Structure 1
Amino acid sequence: MISLHGPQGAVDHGGSGSDGSLPAQTVWIDLNDPTAEEAAKVERTTGIRIPSRSALSEVESSSRLRRNRDGLSLSTPMVTFDRSDFSLKPLGFLLTADHFVTVRYHDMRAFAAVRKRVDDGDGDGSTSTRMFLLVVEELVDNLADLLEEMSGDLDNLSTRIFDFDAGARPGARKGDATAPKRRDLALRRLLRSVGRHGKSLAKVRASLLGLGRITAFVKNECDQALGEDDLPRFDTLGQDIASLDEFETRLSDTVQFLLDATLGLINIEQNNAFRVLTVVSVVGVPPTLVASIYGMNFKHMPELDWAYGYPYGLALIAVSAVLPLVFFRVKGWL
């Protein structure tokens, strides 16, 4: 889909004038998941070569930041901002003296916000560079909001991890055979949640890194053409991206800390299981020893002639089983 925008707002969502050329007031050309025909139409009317999706997805810096005869060709991976389908998709910027072209493959509220700002007269889109600044500023704001949401999610996740106690939850009873299964399921969910946050932060970091490189590149390449009001905006953008990068680093450290804590809880649960098995095996040794002794087929065994020899043997077996349990209980192992 093609949409056109000028300093006063939307120009012509059809993509071209009646003679096939762009309206004179067009500054920003937004291509949202363009077809080959739409890309070719923009190339014919502007002379700007529109890169393919595969070209925008290339990872080397020379392909993402490039000056050509048409102007500047820029690309970066950008998060989808959809928490239900959080992924990276390519985003392309083409910047010339007259036009600013964006090529994207998913809807982003930043673009809708920029359109509204221009329509309401709240943003200066009189030149291609200023329109570029509006889009990048809105993207940085959205990334900041996303990081704030993730910070809140990590706080909640931290509470869940460090207050983890399956026995204290409603419906969990002491001795309930299903409690270990519930604890195992809860720990699996915590581990998956920590992993999802780690992956999401890595994608946000890739987006911030790409925007930081693009902003610095455009500032250096267009230094002579920038107005006095534009340079401070580039400097502010650079500072905002740097601060968000530091914030993301702290959140990544928090994710690593929560991952270690979750793995520690899993180790504790495993140790508890092994402790129970160890106690059971130790408790079973003395009765087995007593039964083995009285199960020997010797001819002369005094207890065989006792009237209460059989109850005596049973009592001895019971006492030998109870004494280890009492010992472990006193030591606090049970």
Structure 2
Amino acid sequence: MIVDCAIYREGQRADGPEDLSDALAEARSVGGFVWIGLHAPSEEEFDLVAEEFALHPLAVEDALKAHQRPKLEVYDDSLFLVLKPVVYEPRSDTVSTGEIMVFLGDGFVVTVRHGEGAPLKTVRRRLEEEPTLLGKGPTSVLYAVADGVVDHYLEVATELQTDLEELEAEVFSPVDGGSRHTASRIYNFKRQVLEFRRATGPLALPLARLSGTGGASGGSVPFVNDKARPFFRDVNDHLTRVNESVEGLDRLVSDILSAHLAQMSVRQNDDMRKISAWAAMAAVPTMIAGVYGMNFEHMPELRWTWSYPAVIALMAALEVLLYRTFKSRGWL
């Protein structure tokens, strides 16, 4: 469905015509550009847009099917950029991703959004409040969309860092070192970091191309104003910070999982030592009682009046000796 359609000239908005076939012609006639926003369009709806703006069939297929990785494709009549906005749900501590596809061409911008996260109304409103930036043409829309997505990455990275600190405090708690469900929480957190990385990692190369810092691939990109490179470099710097943060989160959560498993192993060893110590203490009186329970006729001190209290005293003395020995070695 078409969420919004407007023509922009010198940074000012004018509502687009009802018939899409007139939108591009009208925008070019006034020296401006048309920006059409769609949300999860059907194939029939998008065919009208694709035909009007001569969008490449491969890019159209990607925009309809979604589930693409971040990438930048250059075609004869347009530029195609895929972004994956990230949404963090604090109640369930989960990260989910949507998709934004941007078609950029001579006098037009078409944005296609899939998923509920990262609506573009905020981006459009912010751009319309900055007519100087919006007056730079379609490139300003591409920059604003990329900047909005990457800035939200920073917010999600901060939320994940807070969750990781809480998880770390739980693992290294002096009380019990984490519950039995801690390992599953750590593993689930690692999955969220992996989902986040799938959105941020592949975006580095497209932004490097747009900012002109991509080495051999960092030449001029068609349909993008070269004067916008400093803006894209700023977005790329923010993305670099995000990717460094994601790398740090991934390493830390792996270290925390290793520390948790090591703590579990140490606790199990302590438990086994305690069990072994108590078993050894129980074995001594059992052995003595077993010997005196064999009912032999000729046994040492068998008919002595003080045999029973003497054997009990011997058992108690041996128990005390074993207890103090195990206690001094830290087994109890």
Instruction: Give the TM bin, normalised by the shorter chain.
Output: 0.7 to 0.9
Please report how far the alpha carbon of residue 133 of structure 1 lies from its aligned counterpart in structure 2 after TM superposition.
0.6
Sequence identity (%):
25
* 2:182 corresponding residue in structure 1: 190
- Comparing 91-100 with 278-287, greater Cα deviation is found at 91-100
Shift of 1:235: 2.0
**Are residues 1:135 and 2:136 paired?**
no
Query: Tell me, what secondary structure is at the counterpart of 2:102?
Result: strand
Over 3 Å counting, the alpha-carbon distance change for 1:81 and 1:155 in structure 2 is: closer
1:230 is matched with 228
Aligned partner of 2:34 in structure 1 is: 27
Deviation of the 1:299 alpha carbon: 2.3
Counterpart in 2 of 1:302?
Answer: 300
Q: Deviations over 1:207-262 (max 9, x none)?
A: 22232222234454754654454121122222222232222222222222222222
The CA distance in 1 between the partners of 2:168 and 2:106, in whole Å, is 50
Q: Within 5 A, what are the aligned runs for 1:3-14?
A: 3=3, 4-7=5-8, 8=12, 11=15
Runs of 5+ consecutive residues of structure 2 not aligned to the other structure: 28-32, 212-217
Q: Distance in 1 between matches of 2:163 and 2:143?
A: 30
Show the counterpart of 1:207: 199
Shift of 1:73: 2.7
In structure 1, the partner of 2:2 is: 2
Whether the 8 Å CA contact 1:194–1:259 is kept in 2: the answer is: yes
Alignment of 1:89-168 (within 5 A): 89-109=98-118, 111-121=120-130, 124-126=133-135, 127-166=137-176
Once residues 40 and 62 of structure 2 are traced to their aligned partners in structure 1, the CA distance between those partners, rounded to angstroms, is 10
Q: CA deviation at 1:116?
A: 2.0
Per-residue deviation, 1:305: 0.9
TM-score normalised by L of structure 2: 0.80
* Structure 2 CA distance for aligned equivalents of residues 272 and 134 of structure 1: 58
Offset, 1:315: 3.2
Which amino acid in 1 is paired with 2:201?
Answer: L
Conserved in 2, the CA contact under 8 Å of 1:81 and 1:108?
no
Relative to structure 1, the CA distance from residue 141 to residue 19 in structure 2 (aligned partners, 3 Å threshold; closer, same or farther) is closer
**Count of equivalent residues:** 310
TM-aligned CA deviation for residue 148 of structure 1: 1.6
Q: Give, in whole Å, the separation in 2 of the partners of 1:117 and 1:76.
A: 19
Matched, 1:272 2:281: no
Considering only aligned residues, what root-mean-square deviation do their CA atoms show, in Å? 2.9
In the alignment, does 2:328 pair up with 1:330? yes
**104-113 or 49-58, larger mean C-alpha shift:** 49-58
The separation in 2 between residues aligned to 1:19 and 1:79, in whole angstroms, is 31
CA distance in 1, matches of 2:13, 2:183: 47
The one-letter code of the counterpart of 2:328 is V
Which amino acid in structure 2 is aligned with residue 45 of structure 1?
Answer: E
Task: Return the offset for 1:137.
Answer: 0.6
For residues 80-99 of structure 1, give each alpha carbon's deviation from its aligned partner in whole angstroms, at most 9, with x where no partner exists: 34444523344323222222
Ranges in structure 1 where 5+ consecutive residues have no aligned partner? 167-182
Q: Which amino acid aligns with 2:194?
A: A
